[in-house]
Amino acid sequence: MKSDPIESPKPDRIGAFDSAGLAIEPRILKVAQAVRKAGGRAVIVGGWVRDRLLGLRSKDIDIEIFGLAPDRLESLLGEFGRVDMVGRAFAVYRVAGIDADFSLPRSERKRGRGHRGFEIEADPSLDFARASRRRDFTVNSIGLDPLTGELLDPHRGIEDLRSGILRATCPKRFAEDPLRGLRMVGFAARLAMRPDEDLIALCRGLDLESLSGERVFDEFKKLLLRSHRPSSGLRLLEATGMLDFFPELDALRGVPQDPKWHPEGDVWVHTLMAVDAAAGSLHEEAPKSDIADDDALSLMFGTLCHDFGKPATTACIDGRIRSLDHSKQGMAPARAFLMRMRAPKWLIECIESLVEHHLAPALYVRNGAKAGGYRRLSRRLDAKGASLELLERLARADHLGRTTAEALSGRFEAGEIFLEQARKYGVERKPPEDVVSGRHLIDRGLAPGPDFGRILARCREIQDDTGWTDPDRILARMGAEMETDLAGLDPPDGKS
């Protein structure tokens, strides 16, 4: 599965819509026509309108229905297919066969002290100007009438899109949901916009501790995967003080590095450059990039976490700044960072392995590692959901995220050699299949028991060291070590 290429915003294309050229699904238009006939009005809201104004593709389409009571709307939608309510608290409806969310305009009010969440009340009598005040940013508060192409913009969102400014729609209510601070970071990076000073000030007062880990993870995921330059969002975390809520990231600031290898500055500066290099490998190469979605997520989080071990290990040794063993020491803080976000277990394990081995590509080439080393590393990574190809991508981002002459040239010669060797041995994506299995031992008269695992593990080591693919040859070597003729034992009952 390929990652979708990320397009750059095109503010010069902002203007009035030609409703005939919107390519809106015909069934959506028919629903809008039925709503108008019933005395209501359908308005496309949110990100779809914003992205179309910027000349970007957008998949999700949200439609608010004004002027119809809930039961009337549900009945009307039922004329187009089976209706499911996917967000009961928010009165959101889906119609089978139509790729859109339909909802009623609603008001939101933060629950009283000691209670989390919001009190939601659907109110079909709201006009668009009042209904859109609950939205986070002015650029997300623009509506579109799909039947006429009329743009509804009571909060000057189009002007902000043109000028590249991110503003709160309603400053008085912005802090009701602290997640909006992380959304600001993500939108600023993805849309290449700059928050105004009032929005920066609002974000400085947010308390992110009340947010669930899952919501935080989702915003980090969007920042890392959808931005050309995730560093711009991470710098906003720093500028607003929200970085304080992520101690593993905050700890990178001010940690010195040897200027010979890292003339760009401290570990925080290097990390920002590295995540941009990783993002560039995903988006600037598109559509030729064929990295899978899970690998893209692992690459971006792995790059963000790869030097988490440096704050605890950096010291001046013999006049040089060193961070000995920082790869292994970075595993624990990477796990803590991701666990607080409730990241999936597979991702946590993958990132731990990438952090542990992120120096391997350069070291393997420098030390002239043999085939066995590549095979064994491939097995260790595969056990955690990673691969040599993915590891090289992370090491490349690490290498390019600095200002050495080689990095500035865009080359990572060690990475190229590492991948060439991995491909030569056929282990760039997966380790070799085990040549000797339990079946071979049973066929030679050995009963399953505690020694089985040890024997098979040693057979695997022999296979990796030699590259042999003949089970008898491997078993003969193993038998010689055990002073037992494993290869020559007669298979029981004539088995072969």
Architecture of domain 246-424: Orthogonal Bundle (1.10)
pLDDT tens per residue, range 264-291: 999 999 999 999 999 999 987 544 456 7
Residues 196/165, Cβ–Cβ less than 8 Å: yes
pLDDT tens per residue, range 44-73: 999 999 999 988 888 789 999 999 999 999
Query: Rounded to the nearest 10 degrees, how much is the dihedral formed by the CA atoms of 436, 438, 444, 449?
Result: 130
According to DSSP, the residues that pair with 63 across neighbouring strands are 44, 102
Predicted confidence at residue 118, as pLDDT, reads 53
pLDDT tens per residue, range 13-43: 455 555 555 678 899 999 999 999 999 999 9
Q: In sequence order, which ranges of 284-370 are alpha helices (DSSP H)?
A: 293-305, 310-313, 326-329, 331-340, 345-357, 360-366
Predicted confidence at residue 287, as pLDDT, reads 46
Residues 364/373, Cβ–Cβ less than 8 Å: yes
Query: Rounded to the nearest 10 degrees, how much is the dihedral formed by the CA atoms of 347, 373, 267, 183?
Result: -20
Query: Rounded to the nearest 10 degrees, how much is the dihedral formed by the CA atoms of 10, 12, 14, 18?
Result: -100
The domain locations on the chain are 11-163, 246-424, 438-494
Beta strand extents in 175-307 (DSSP E only): 194-195
Q: Is 18 left (phi over 0), alpha (psi -120 to 50) or beta?
A: beta
Does residue 212 carry a pLDDT above 60? yes
CB atoms within 10 A of CB 361: 29
Counting DSSP H helices and E strands in the chain, the numbers are: 25, 13
pLDDT tens per residue, range 101-133: 999 998 766 545 554 555 567 788 899 999 999
Query: Quick one: DSSP state of residue 125?
Result: T
Predicted confidence at residue 484, as pLDDT, reads 67
The pairing of strands 165-166 and 106-110 is: unpaired
142 contact partners, CB below 8 Å, separation of at least 6: 45, 49, 50, 53, 151, 152, 153, 155, 157, 158
Predicted confidence at residue 145, as pLDDT, reads 95
According to DSSP, the residues that pair with 101 across neighbouring strands are 62
Query: Rounded to the nearest 10 degrees, how much is the dihedral formed by the CA atoms of 283, 287, 292, 298?
Result: -10
CATH 3.30.460.10 for domain 11-163: yes
Paired tokens of 170: 């309603």
Give dist(CA 474, CA 46) in Å, integer: 63
Q: What's the Cα-to-Cα distance from 23 to each of 35, 52, 98, 141, rounded to whole Å?
A: 19, 11, 14, 21
Please state the rounded mean pLDDT for residues 84-100: 83
Give dist(CA 467, CA 71) in Å, integer: 70
Q: What share of the chain in percent tops pLDDT 90?
A: 72
Which single residue is written with the structure tokens 């902002």? Answer: 14
Does residue 489 carry a pLDDT above 60? no
Is the N-terminal amide bond of 287 cis, ω within 30° of 0? yes
Query: Quick one: DSSP state of residue 135?
Result: S
Predicted confidence at residue 283, as pLDDT, reads 83
Residues 186/136, Cβ–Cβ less than 8 Å: no
CA-nearest of 159, 126, 147, 128 to 50 is 159
> What does residue 346 show for φ and ψ, rounded to 5 degrees?
-60, -35
